[in-house]
Amino acid sequence: MASTAPTWTTEGEHGLTQDNLRLLLDNRIAVIRIPGFATLAECKSFTEAARTGNIKYYSVAKRIGYIGMAQFEYRWGRQKEDFFAAVPQADRDLVDVVQRCTFDPLQRLIDRLQAVWPNPVHVAREDLGSYYAGIIRFAGEGVDLHVDWAPVNSPHYAIGRIDGQLGWNFFAEELQSGGETTVHNAPWDPEVDEEEIPQSYGLSRELVEGAPKAVYKASAGDVVIFNTRNPHEIAGGTPQPGGSRISIGSFVGRMPDGELVLWS
């Protein structure tokens, strides 16, 4: 079996509290939303800054623009050293955007998490250096079914030791219609040899058939957090004229000592 039995005890969206964060890390609840994380003016400031940033594109069928980097890009045939060597440039690309923006979404999110979590919350790091956190995405065409689960995706990194993985996204610009995210409660549990890193993007629909699901709206101004071990996908939609679905986010993992670490 590539996935395990459903784990949610309740569906729907919940507020950000220590209990709910723990329940989300344990995959007991579906979604945490922070409504009004940023004002309309802050959203506008962020989208304007992001649009003029160093935007790159993933080579997948659906066009996804991004600023920053993803550790996931280094999962196959790349040295760990290469990943950590690429972090400073990605950091500079993010700083360039944030400096032209009226607020820092990543720092605000860390502060919000730290306000409810008893242990330290910080960007992930290990001997070789600091990870990158805060990928900006332009994903108006949607994103295919995938999972993000470091113990399987990144077993040779410190983040491979987490026991729960969340993804948070702040939405700065929403589509006119569409763009919902569907989270399927079919926690990923692929059978793989220790050294093998399986495909985790463009997953088969069989994996989520019959599983409970939660659909959330990517509303501008809000942060939404969910457990990324659940297969999830983003619907395409109709942008506002000249617009997109613009977000910034990262993963949040719980280390064995209870600290929360962030990376993208």
Ligand X SMILES: O=C(O)CCC(=O)C(=O)O
Contacts with ligand X by CB under 6 A lie at 143, 148, 167, 169, 181, 218, 228, 232, 234, 247, 249
Six-digit token string for 113: 């998490």
In angstroms, what is the minimal distance from the CB of 162 to ligand X?
14
- Cα gap 36→224, rounded to integer Å: 11
In angstroms, what is the minimal distance from the CB of 228 to Fe ion?
5
DSSP-assigned states of every residue in 167-203: EEEEEEE--SEE--EEEE---B-----TT-----BS-
Do 261 and 162 meet the contact criterion of CB atoms below 8 Å apart? yes
- 76 residue type, one letter: W
Q: How many CB atoms lie within 10 A of CB 150?
A: 23
Report the partner that residue 143 touches, choosing among ligand X, Fe ion, none (CB closer than 5 to 8 A by kind): ligand X
Write each residue from 99 to 118 as x if it is in contact with Fe ion (CB under 5 A), else as -, in one continuous string: --------------------
- Cα gap 95→196, rounded to integer Å: 35
Taking the least distance from each CB to ligand X, the nearer of 47 and 169 is 169
Report the partner that residue 142 touches, choosing among Fe ion, ligand X, none (CB closer than 5 to 8 A by kind): none
Q: Which of 42, 141, 148, 174 is in the footprint of Fe ion by CB under 5 A?
A: 148
Taking the least distance from each CB to ligand X, the nearer of 141 and 148 is 148
Taking the least distance from each CB to Fe ion, the nearer of 13 and 148 is 148
